[in-house]
Structure formats: structure tokens, C-alpha cells
Structure 1
Amino acid sequence: MCLSANNATPDRIAEGLETIEVALRRIDYWEVEWPEPEALQSRQPFCVNTLTFPQWLQFVFLPKMRQIVEQERPLPAVSGMAPMAEEFFRPEPVTGQEVIDELARLDQLLSNQ
């Protein structure tokens, strides 16, 4: 179901997407090369069987959300990205807190809370 959350203006969403990219680059979880096309075809949520969570953000979520914003299409009602990020970063050598915080902000904006 798609809806346009009142607080989720395209500019705020675009800014959040940029913040996520910058944060991933800062903690060195941004990849130079794209994964194999098959990895992007996963039917599992967040491509958990083919990509790491940061890879999913970089190669699936960010491009799709940027396209939605640029084409002025309805924003999806999204929830649960911040908890996924928390789970991913829990055992990692970096906290990923900036990524988690921005995903939580986007979750809130998009779910109109």
C-alpha cells in the first residue's frame, strides 16, 4: 500500500537518503562494485539470502527511493528498517548508529507517526 505521509516531503526524504549514503561511506560499508544481477533478484525481504543489509540499502533501497522521489510517485509506507539495521550492526565492529538513526527517522516520516 502506498501513501504520501504528510511529514514525508520529498526534500526530507531525499535528504535522509543522502545522509544514509554518507554514513555508509563514512563507516566504510559502501561498495565500489555492484553485486551480481542474480543477487538483486532475491524474493526474500531485504534480500537477506543474497546481500548484506548495507548492500541492500545501497543497491536496492536507495536507488528505488531516489527514483520514487524524482518521479514524484507516492511514497511507500515503510517500517522496520531501523530494527533490521540494529540487528545487522550488533555483531559488527562499528555501531552504524548514524545509519540506524536516519533509518528510524525515515521509518517515522514514511509511516506518518
Structure 2
Amino acid sequence: MSTEVRELLISLEEELKRLDCWQSMPPSAQALASTTPFCMDTMGFTQWLQWLFIPRVHAILDQGAALPKGANITSYAEEALVLEKIETTQLLVLVERFDRLMN
């Protein structure tokens, strides 16, 4: 399963780049330190994917640790991505795949 998850993370990164949502400059340390779920108070969903979610899941895989169970990112993604005004169909498909893998 870790190979499938790693491939999914790469697909998420590629899709963010295709959508021109991949950023070269990280958010502020304060924004990254948010304790609100998905850092919704300090960054957009695509930023959260790039700067927190993707690196954290890669780190879990690199350490050989157990992946989180019961992910439910899709419902928040559907709400949050409306605000980002981007074409989200493929991005949502990838997020849904991650949720299914973790359940």
C-alpha cells in the first residue's frame, strides 16, 4: 500500500502544478504552526496539501510508520476548493482516492 500512497502523493503534486497552485515560497512560520484543522485559518486547501499534508505523509512513509486511519479529507476539500476558484475535478478524485486508501 505504501507504493500506492507514494504514487498518489506524486499525482497530487503534479495536479497542483498543473493547476498552477504549486508555490515556490512557503507560508509564514506562523501560518504553518496553525493548530486549526487543515490550517483553514491561515492558508488555503492547496497550500495545506503542498506544505503540510504531502510532506507529512512522505515522512510517515520514509519512517516506515503506520499511516493514519480514517482520513476524511474529501468533505473539507469540496468546501474549501470552491473558494480557490480552480478546476478541481481531478484534484478531488485524488483526495477521494487517499481517503479510500486510509479507510
In which range does the TM-score fall when normalised by the shorter chain? over 0.9
Question: Which has the bigger relative contact order, CA under 8 A and spacing at least 6?
Answer: 1
What is the Cα deviation at residue 90 of structure 1? 2.4
Q: Is 1:76 aligned to residue 68 of structure 2? A: yes
| Identity value in percent | 32
Alignment CA distance shift 1:41-1:18 (3 Å): same
| TM-score using structure 1 length | 0.85
Q: Answer yes or no: is 1:103 the counterpart of 2:85.
A: no
TM-score normalised according to structure 2 size: 0.93
Q: Which residue pairs with 2:45 in the alignment?
A: 53
Q: How many pairs were matched up?
A: 103
> Per-residue deviation at 1:91?
4.3
Extract unaligned runs of 5+ from structure 1: 1-8
Gaps of 5+ in 2: none
Equivalent pair of 1:42/1:49 in contact (CA under 8 Å): yes
Q: Is the 8 A contact 2:19 2:86 kept in 1?
A: yes
Give the number of the structure whose alpha-carbon radius of gyration is greater: 1
Q: In angstroms, what is the RMSD of aligned CA positions?
A: 1.2
Greater fraction helix: 2
Q: Distance in 2 between matches of 1:99 and 1:84?
A: 13
